[in-house]
Amino acid sequence: MTTETVADAPPARSRQMEMYGRAKQRLPGGTDSNFRAWGEDTIYVDRGLGGLVWDLDGNEFVDLRMGYGPVILGHGDARVDDHVADRMRRGVSFSLTSEDEVTAVELICELTFCDMARLTVSGTEATMHAMRLARGFTGRDKVVKFEGQYHGVHDYALISVLPTDVTELGDRDDPVRLAWGRGIPRAITETVIPCPFNDLDTLRRIFEREGEEIAAVIIEPLLGNAQGILPREGFLDGVRRMTQEFGALLIFDEVKTGFRLARGGAAELFGITPDLATYAKAMGNGYPAAAFGGRADVMNLLPEHVSHGGTYAGNRVAAAAATKVLSIIRDTDVLESLSRTGRRIQDGLAPVVERHGLPYVFTGHPAMFGIMFAEQLPADYRGWAETDHDLYDAVAVGMMSRGAMPEPDSREPWFMCEAHAEGDLVDRAISAFEGALADALEASARS
């Protein structure tokens, strides 16, 4: 379906256009991340509070992006911000260890399967170090990852990530090692082996062919960059058993799912214990907190045998934020609240789509879910490409004209925060979807 978005009264953008003109003179694309470089549609934010965000022109939105997932409580949460501000007054960055980081890691280990963990400042760093640890522990060089999964922006992660044309991924029985962009050495692409998600047969062929060289399988337990496509029954257990059979480690990338789907993350939700895991996003409620951890025998390769460091690793701001956020997650029903809110929104969206007679499926977990215009649930990233993502993208853009802001890309889930349960935010999100869908279908009918 080819669509264009209809908006009766587009939000004012004069200040943002002025900022875009200024920013692109010094910032490539006018922003600090390729993922939010939307040309003249680039959004420049002014502030956020709870489940709301305002752009530079004063337009107010129900925020369904939540910074790609970190803001699990809500923008400007006083419990976290007040604690961080208090701790900051004692100094921020020493490159020495503080009680804040010890407490943060103790909480990570209390909530998850991890015996030990270390802090970093981004999910990219966390997955990079976890992969290095796995190679150091096994003495092998190769890592298997799944198509459509995003593990950060280091070279070893940028293989077979998000092509719009999935034919570039090659034959599903022997996928192409597709580098995302220039600058990734060919030698690195040869150490990363892609596999379709939910496909144990292809994974076994990979292990039978290259198993003696495979250090680890890294996996998001659900496809966080394909609207949260879920693992089929038995898939994660099959991956776990296969890694054990061939002497490889299993790394769960819980940067998006950790401390969101359950207190112990996706590992707890699905009942699978990996060897290593990575965490970020929700553990800081927007502060740059991240970690990697796992089995003691693997983690104890640090500090003598595997390199890990960072001037800002364990800095007081991030560690204090993580300590407070993880305490809230442990001691309150915040995660149950997220799920209730997600289900309320789904219950509101479903009849809207059904009135138009469109096929649809909900994907993911209520705390980070997607809606796809498709007859049945896709099993993998290649299946996502067969959904009507053009219609979804048009609806997402149209929702912004109506005061709600999902990511304008059908691969990104809607992220819930605790503050979404307040006031009329759920109703406003549903209403924006209803109007945007009607607009998109009207535009399609005219084209």
Residue type at position 20: Y
Tell me: the pLDDT tens digits for 2-58? Answer: 334 444 567 899 999 999 999 999 999 999 999 899 999 999 999 999 999 999 999
Average pLDDT over residues 64-88: 98
Rounded Cα distance between 146 and 378, Å, is 15
Using alpha carbons, list the distances in angstroms from residue 287 to 34, 198, 217, 249, 411: 20, 33, 28, 30, 24
Q: Which fold has domain 78-331?
A: Aspartate Aminotransferase; domain 2 (3.40.640)
Assess whether 150 carries a catalytic annotation.
yes
Confidence at residue 168, expressed as pLDDT on a 0 to 100 scale? 85
Tell me: the pLDDT tens digits for 224-235? Answer: 989 999 999 999
Identical fold, 14-75+333-446 and 78-331: no
Tell me: the pLDDT tens digits for 120-145? Answer: 999 999 999 999 999 999 999 999 99
> Thinking of the domain 14-75+333-446, which architecture would CATH place it in?
Alpha-Beta Complex (3.90)
Confidence at residue 2, expressed as pLDDT on a 0 to 100 scale? 37
Average pLDDT over residues 326-344: 98
Which member of 55, 63, 199, 253 is catalytic? 253
3-state secondary structure of 188: helix
The pLDDT of residue 101 is above 70: yes
pTM here is 0.95
Residue type at position 199: D
Which member of 199, 281, 324, 360 is catalytic? 281
Three-class HEC string of 205-225: HHHHHHHHHEEEEEECCCECC
Task: Give residue limits of the domains in the chain.
Answer: 14-75+333-446, 78-331
The pLDDT of residue 401 is above 90: yes
Tell me: the pLDDT tens digits for 152-174? Answer: 999 999 999 877 788 888 888 88
Assess whether 253 carries a catalytic annotation.
yes
Which member of 150, 287, 360, 392 is catalytic? 150
Rounded Cα distance between 242 and 200, Å, is 9
Characterize 59-85 residue by residue with b for buried, 16 or more Cβ atoms within 10 angstroms of its Cβ, and e for exposed: bebbbbbbbbbbbbbbbbbeebbebbe
Assess whether 281 carries a catalytic annotation.
yes
The pLDDT of residue 357 is above 50: yes
